[in-house]
Structure 1
Amino acid sequence: MSKQIIKPFELLLEYEKRSVSHALGSAVEESELGDWSGIGFKIGEMHLVTEVDDVNEVVILPELVKIPGIDQWVLGLVNIRSNLIPAIDLRSYLTGESSKLTKHTRMLVINQPGGQAGLVVDEVFGQRHFSKSDWHDVEGDDDSRVYRYCDKFFSQDDVRWDVFEMDQLVQDTNFQNASIK
């Protein structure tokens, strides 16, 4: 019975060959997923999606500390890794109707001028992939405040996913000023 001698250099070449073939396979799979990716979430009955890079993290809503003298759409302050950030009820801000906090409620942590903010949404669906060729323009006749921040949408499996622009939200002076008027 002969022992097979393992040559380290040949073993490394084999590993490299496997790695390269795996990486090429991943690129093909990624292109099949689509060329635009976003984080899907829901407020009320609306399905929204925002660019992946616009969301730092998604967390279960932590304990809130109420703040007096502030608009109803600011739920309070939350502690995320020793950082106090405002928790914003996105549904209340956009529609005037408060979110119902459930086991599906999540908070999208985003960057804004001067720090971070947490946008409380009814549900998060995770990453969604779309083809830019399936973009549609939002018609300007809808007077909903939500569409102030949406100018495109995707339609996928009979679900309309409006593309929510976080940059437009955080630059809006109404969003930046939460004191009671």
Structure 2
Amino acid sequence: MKLKFIALLLLMCCFAALFSACEPIPEVVYISLPEQAPCEYKNKAGETLLTCTLTAIEVRQYTSNEHDYVTAVMQVENTGNAAISKVSFDAAFINENGEVINEADFDCNYDETPLLAGDTTERRVSQWIYEGVNIGNFSYSVTGLTEYNQDTEVLEEADEEAPTSWREAIVSTTK
């Protein structure tokens, strides 16, 4: 019995030592954004099919100052007449000096619950930012839509020659 108690006490000490070394999750710092026009995706006929608005930049600043977790929050609204199953984006996190930290293509999939005409939803794009680099900008553009149907045919795709609707929100963090 005494041996079980000592083993349990030793196990509790090991767990306490293990979890005391973990850095707590920091509070989210919201960066205020200037009022700007939303990013619109239009078809070849000039009809607006989708509107995206950057609503917030969230930054979790860790005390070790080795990395931050940055999230861009976007409001996506289907302004067209068809239900949407997928929206494709190009996005870039940019530092204070205007240099691209990371750029990526990403998709918002609405396969289970399509984005119906007139519906609005919130989407988040997140990135770990290392070595004390401060976020200075987040840029994105809508590059394509997929209509929701059984065959999931492409509704519209952006032309390489046609200008895409870029929207940049200039933000800065202070540490």
When normalised by structure 2's length, the TM-score is 0.29
When normalised by structure 1's length, the TM-score is 0.29
Instruction: Please state which structure has a larger fraction of its residues in helix.
Output: 1
